[in-house]
Chains A and B, each alone.
Chain A
Amino acid sequence: MLKIEARGYESRFWRYASPVLALLLTGATSGLIFMAMGRPAGLTVYTFLIAPLLRQDGFEALVVKAAPLIMMGVGLSLAYRANVWNIGTDGQFTLGAICGGGIALAFPDAPAYVLFPAMVIAGTLGGMASGGLVAWLRIRFNANEILTSLMFAYITQYLLVYLVTGPWRDPQGFGFPQTALFSDTALAPRLIEDTNVHIGILLAPLIAIGLWFMLEKSLLGFQFRVLGQATRAAKFAGFRENRLVWIAMLISGGLAGLAGLLEVTGTLGQLTTTLSPGYGFTAIIVAFLGRLNPLGVIPAGLLLALTYLGGDAAQIDLGLPNAVTGIFQGILLFYLLGCDILLLNRFRWVPSHAKAVR
């Protein structure tokens, strides 16, 4: 029978090979699912992963989708390293968009050099407030952050619906559930004229690099890693767990809020009832695919952004519902987690009679 056997050390090879193996297995499994649905597997995988990039605006669409995923994924990789399970980044994203968007709606005539920075600050603070509340409830009341952060995501979504169907609804909007368009001065500055390539696309990798330095090269980062890997050791070393929980939630919440603000000012230009196409859960996969390493999160964010574009393409070209993206992402996370057993273990074939001999 096949046996799992401890290696006794961490395999360097599998540290990098395990996510690659997970990706290959995900591709193969998805192909089988497509075949079961009566579609040619090769064509579907091509439509999903390659065709979106060959379109004229393919690269632009990719980086625009990847920027929020990278920002949120970087924050989560930091939090998960410290065993702080923020899974409600969707709510922090939305609250950031609400706070920043509210300023844009309140001061449409403010000059751009005041308005946009104020919105960025408001959006980030909004996300931090939402994340900070979760941290406070965990520290002060011992409330599980997984459940509270997710409940806040639902609550924030209803708050958004209330605002855009109620007090913030565009009076000239023919009753559609959306706010007025932001003024031009409230839109994120573009890196390339007449595209959606906004400043967030530059910001996301810079944030990732900055947090990589913090995590890998600073004392604070060391404390994060120890807290996650050996909680008791962190306590003996005198690291203050509560302080690290605060920092993890404020950073991951603040980055999600910033991502939300940049999403509404970079692509949508107004608030509507749905701002996040499930970025919150996708960012979790981005963090794990990036091995909870901020630098790894950059390619991981690009890849998962591609699955969103692929879902749209599969819907248009092949008539598949774009929920396919969700299945693909779920399978990928299963394989990523499962393949990691190869880090510390190996599979060995043990003939079944060996048991009797021993």
Chain B
Amino acid sequence: MTALLVAFLVSTIAASTPLLLAATGELIVEKVGVLNLGVEGMMLAGAIAGFATANQTGITSLGVLAAVAAGIALSMLFAVVSLTLQANQTATGLALTIFGRGFSALVGAGYVGIPAPTLPKIHLPVLSDIPVLGPVIFGHDILVYLALAILAVVAWCIRSTHLGLILRAVGDSHDAAHALGYAVIPIRYAAVAFGGALAGLAGAYMSLAYTPLWAQDMTAGRGWVAVALVTFSAWRPFWLLIGAWFFGALMYLSLYVQALGVAVPSALLSAVPYIGTVVVLVLISRDARRIRLHRPAMLGRPFQARV
């Protein structure tokens, strides 16, 4: 029983990490009033960039860096078209997802079914050997802790720093922020790049730690779940963490029940996390007033400075 519980907790934390990373990035992007629906594409680009680099060089950390770079590079395509050229953000985000899927499939064609060095699990003497708590808290790879640390910093930054205030001002009233002298477009560029970096990192986690393999479309909609998580959390970091754990648990359970050989067909069980996303989204969105209160007011609106 204890072994089962440990396995459940450890796997849930692992499954929630890519969601948490990508959603934290998207949270900052949406906080400044930009809706980037290209998370799935950036994750895929990060996954293959990380995998290919780690495979070629044999150095996992280089793979992680390459994934971050790929995520940023793709996010800049989005930024140029949607921020500088003021195109519709929804459509531009879709373009990024389509491009990222194609790009990753093209680069990844030669990497299917081969191994790459994986991210090692941390092993602390004494601490990691504590029963239950050891493996659950002290036995993960570095990205799991990094994801939590980034979320904590982001939460603190949004809540209690001057920078957080500026970010929120840009997202809630870009005209007022502009009038106060803040550079709306460059701030949005920076936020989009941050979102790209974290989506790339989430992709690297998928291909270097979670699976760890490259397969076409391996993120399987996790980028979209991450976007849904931001709405679910009502743009609040703490609830982002709860949501990521919830969906991580759902993903693990749908796999686990399949492995048990329960009479329910595996294809239907695989659909459970997606059904769960719809159900949760419906429950959360039902209260339109709460969403309106928390949503950055300029979300999805293009900004053009009037001189």
Hey, which bits of chain A sit against chain B, CB under 8 A? Answer: 4, 6, 80, 85, 87, 137, 141-144, 146-148, 150-152, 154-155, 158-159, 161-162, 165-166, 281, 284-285, 288, 321, 323-331, 333-334, 337-338, 340-341
Q: Is the CB of A144 within 8 A of B109?
A: no
User: How far is A323 from B88 in the complex, measured between Cα atoms in Å?
Assistant: 26
- Which of these, B77, B86, B228, B271, contacts A341 with CB under 8 Å? B86
B91 within 8 A of partner (CB): yes
B288 at the interface (CB under 8 A from A): yes
Which chain B residues in 258-307 approach chain A with CB under 8 Å?
265, 267-268, 270-271, 274-275, 277-278, 281-282, 285-286, 288, 291, 304
23 pairs, A vs B, C-beta closer than 8 Å: A142-B286, A151-B278, A154-B271, A155-B274, A158-B267, A162-B268, A165-B265, A166-B265, A284-B94, A321-B109, A323-B102, A323-B106, A324-B106, A326-B102, A326-B105, A327-B99, A327-B103, A330-B102, A333-B95, A333-B99, A334-B99, A337-B91, A338-B87
Q: Which of B80, B86, B103, B224 touches A151 (beta carbons < 8 Å)? A: B224
CB-defined contacts of B271 to chain A, threshold 8 Å: 154-155, 158-159
Chain B contact surface mostly: helix
Kindly list chain A residues whose C-beta atoms are within 8 Å of the C-beta of B85. 337-338, 340-341
Residue B161 lies at the interface, judged by CB distance under 8 Å to chain A: no
Which chain B residue shows the least CB distance to A341?
Answer: B85
Question: Once the chains are docked, how many angstroms separate the CA of A151 from the CA of B277?
Answer: 8
Question: Which of the residues A137, A155, A165 comes within 8 Å of B275, measured between beta carbons?
Answer: A155
Indicate if B120 sits at the interface (CB-CB under 8 A): no
- CA A147 to CA B93, docked complex, whole Å: 13
Does B267 lie within 8 Å of A166, measured CB to CB?
A: yes
B227 located at the interface, meaning its Cβ lies under 8 Å from any Cβ of chain A in the complex: yes
- Once A334-B92, A337-B92 are accepted as A-B contacts, the answer to whether A141 and B109 lie under 8 Å apart by CB is no
CA distance A340 to B302 in the complex (A): 14
Query: Which listed residue (B80, B98, B270, B277) contacts A326, Cβ 8 A?
Result: B98
Q: How far is the CA of A155 from the CA of B210 in the complex (A)?
A: 23
Residues in B whose Cβ lies below 8 Å from that of A331: 99
Does B99 lie within 8 Å of A330, measured CB to CB? yes
Contact mask for chain B residues 197-219; partner A; CB cutoff 8 A; 1 contact, 0 none = 00000000000000000001000
* Neighbouring A residues of B100 by C-beta, 8 Å: 330
Q: What chain B residues lie within 8 Å of A165 (beta carbons)?
A: 265, 267
Picked from A80, A147, A340, A341, the residue with its CB within 8 Å of the CB of B281 is A147
Interface pair B88/A337, CB less than 8 Å apart: yes
What chain B residues lie within 8 Å of A330 (beta carbons)?
A: 41, 95-96, 98-103
Which residue of chain A has its CB nearest to the CB of B307? A358
Query: CB-CB < 8 A to B91: which residues of A?
Result: 80, 284, 288, 333, 337
| Contact with B285, one of A143, A285, A288, A327 (Cβ below 8 angstroms) | A143
Sort A-B residue pairs by CB-CB distance and give the 10 closest, nearest first: A326-B102, A330-B99, A323-B105, A337-B87, A333-B95, A162-B267, A327-B102, A158-B271, A321-B109, A330-B98
Evaluate contact between A329 and B102: CB separation under 8 angstroms. yes
Alpha-carbon separation in the docked complex, A285 to B92 (Å) = 11
The reply to whether the CB of B231 lies closer than 8 angstroms to some CB of chain A is yes
Nearest CB in chain B to that of A164: its residue: B267
Tell me if A321 and B90 are in contact (CB < 8 A).
no
Q: With the chains together, A142 CA to B109 CA distance in Å?
A: 40
Known: A326-B105, A329-B102. 5 other contacts (CB 8 A): A80-B91, A147-B231, A151-B277, A151-B281, A333-B98
Known: A281-B98, A330-B100, A333-B98. A147 touches B106 (CB 8 A): no
Q: Once the chains bind, are A329 and B98 in contact (CB under 8 Å)?
A: yes
Does B142 lie at the interface of the complex (its beta carbon under 8 Å from any beta carbon of A)?
no
A147 near B227 with CB under 8 A, answer yes
**Distance, CA A168 to CA B82, complexed state (A):** 45
Determine whether the beta carbon of B102 is less than 8 Å from that of A151: no
Nearest-neighbour CB distance to chain A for B240, whole angstroms, equals: 16
A341 and B285 contact, CB distance less than 8 A:
no
Residue of A nearest to B292 (CB): A142
* Contact status A162-B81, CB under 8 Å: no
Q: How many angstroms between the C-alpha atoms of A155 and B277 in the bound complex?
A: 11
In whole Å, how far is B286's beta carbon from the nearest beta carbon of chain A?
5
Closest to A322 in B: B105
Would you call B98 and A143 a contact (CB within 8 A)?
A: no
B80 & A144 in contact (Cβ 8 Å cutoff): no
Q: Which of A80, A147, A162, A281 contacts B228 (CB 8 A)?
A: A147
A142 to B289 alpha-carbon distance, docked (Å) = 10
Report how far A152 CA is from B101 CA in the complex, Å: 19
Bound form: Cα–Cα A51–B246 in Å: 51
Chain B residues, CB < 8 A from A337: 81-82, 85, 87-88, 91-92, 95
**A252 → B minimal CB distance (Å):** 15
Tell me, rounded to whole Å, the shortest Cβ–Cβ distance linking B287 to chain A.
8
- Interface positions, chain B 216-246, Cβ under 8 Å from A, are 216, 220-221, 224, 227-228, 231
Bound together, the chains give a CA A257 to CA B149 distance in angstroms of: 46
Closest to B102 in A: A326
Q: B221 near A154 (CB under 8 angstroms)?
A: yes
Give chain A residues whose Cβ lies under 8 Å from the Cβ of B90. 85, 146
